[in-house]
Amino acid sequence: MRTAERQGQPGTSDQILGEIRDYCRATQTAESTFGRLVVNDGKLVSRLRDGARITTGTLDKVRAYLSEHRGAASLVPGKPPVQPKPGNGSFAATNIAPAGFRFFDNRQKYLLFVSTCSEKTDVANRISLELGSLQPAPPALRIFDAGVGDGTVLSRVMRALHARFPTMPLYAVAKEISYEDVRMMLEKMADRLFEHPATVLVVTNLYYAEAPWLTPRSATAAQSLIWKDVALSGNTAHGFAEQIGELEGFLAENWRAGISPTTGNPVYARPVILTLRREDHSFLLDPIMPRPGRVMADYDLVIASQPYRARASVEFKASKVVAPLVRSLRPGGRLIGIHSHGNDPGMEIID
């Protein structure tokens, strides 16, 4: 957490943390959602809980927000909680997170799980077994990660791709709606761009039926589309990492998500497409650079490694997620899907 010259007095963090906790419980608002709505920082509450001090400016924003929306905490039995309003210029969420919403509420549990077991490594290793069956065609080998998360799987697969196709141009598209995940994923990409310079990396928050083609379906979304191209200068991983780090402000401002009031699924506030490449390889990569109105979706490999949300029916998952991904494959392309649905022994560990 960035700190200003003036900070709250000792004990202030604990006091405000208690007020936030009580408010979130009363309104069934995820703590990360609260942080985004107030100061556009989904990790505000977790950092306070870890002992971080709060600046006077942040404290004023939090208390002003709580004072304005405190009435939502006084719930009438049998009535749904009042929806909080966004503050600090943040996005207008379509709904507050319902109790037990996995995308935000259980994020810490999920990160703890995947960081203390071999899930990501095993998934990446299994996907890498498919690389020998790929039959890429010029001008590039094309892969799509339908839920890149923190980038652990994608970075490992890209490493394996470099070992098998060290000089082949690579076009990699990563779909992810979570701002925190995108930030962590990009931190891993500096090394990939250094080792495999002929890489075009595309990151987007579009839906499954849109992301492979980098094209929003609705006219309204298309008009609000943010398309940002970044050419990284230099030839060192350190330099690439610094330039990627400078995108933090852009991501914080534009990579925002709300919750659909009908499905409960996360939805983007504005569609965003971010492309990254090495400037010294722009000439070579020009034929495979995506551009508005000129995007190909003939992927050699599609990765669909995602948790299965139990309340979504198999029919919904097949028609809304898997079917669009299958349609984005080129002839001979391969899709590998790895899904978990709960009710297995691993749940005992999580519980």
Q: What is the pLDDT of residues 129-138, one digit of tens each?
A: 999 999 999 9
43 and 125 co-located in one domain: no
Which H or E run includes 142?
strand 141-146
164 and 299 co-located in one domain: yes
- Within a domain: residue 101? no
CB 30 within 8 A of CB 101: yes
- Within a domain: residue 102? no
Is 257 in a helix, a strand, or coil? strand
At residue 36 the predicted structure's pLDDT band, cuts being 50, 70 and 90, is confident
48 and 175 co-located in one domain: no
- Within a domain: residue 24? yes
Domain that holds residue 58: 12-90
Q: How far separated are the first and last CA of the chain, in Å rounded?
A: 30
The pLDDT value recorded for residue 23 is: 84
pTM of the predicted structure, to 2 decimals: 0.69
Tokens of residue 171, six digits: 């076009």
Number of domains in the chain: 2
46 and 167 co-located in one domain: no
172 and 23 co-located in one domain: no
113 and 86 co-located in one domain: no
At residue 225 the predicted structure's pLDDT band, cuts being 50, 70 and 90, is very high
Lowest mean pLDDT among 67-81, 148-162, 280-294: 67-81
- Within a domain: residue 155? yes
At residue 14 the predicted structure's pLDDT band, cuts being 50, 70 and 90, is confident
Task: List the alpha helices (DSSP H) in the chain.
Answer: 12-27, 31-39, 44-49, 56-69, 107-115, 119-128, 152-164, 179-187, 189-195, 219-223, 237-245, 248-254, 282-285, 314-317, 323-327, 346-350
Place of tokens 């495999």: 196
Mean confidence (pLDDT) of the chain: 82
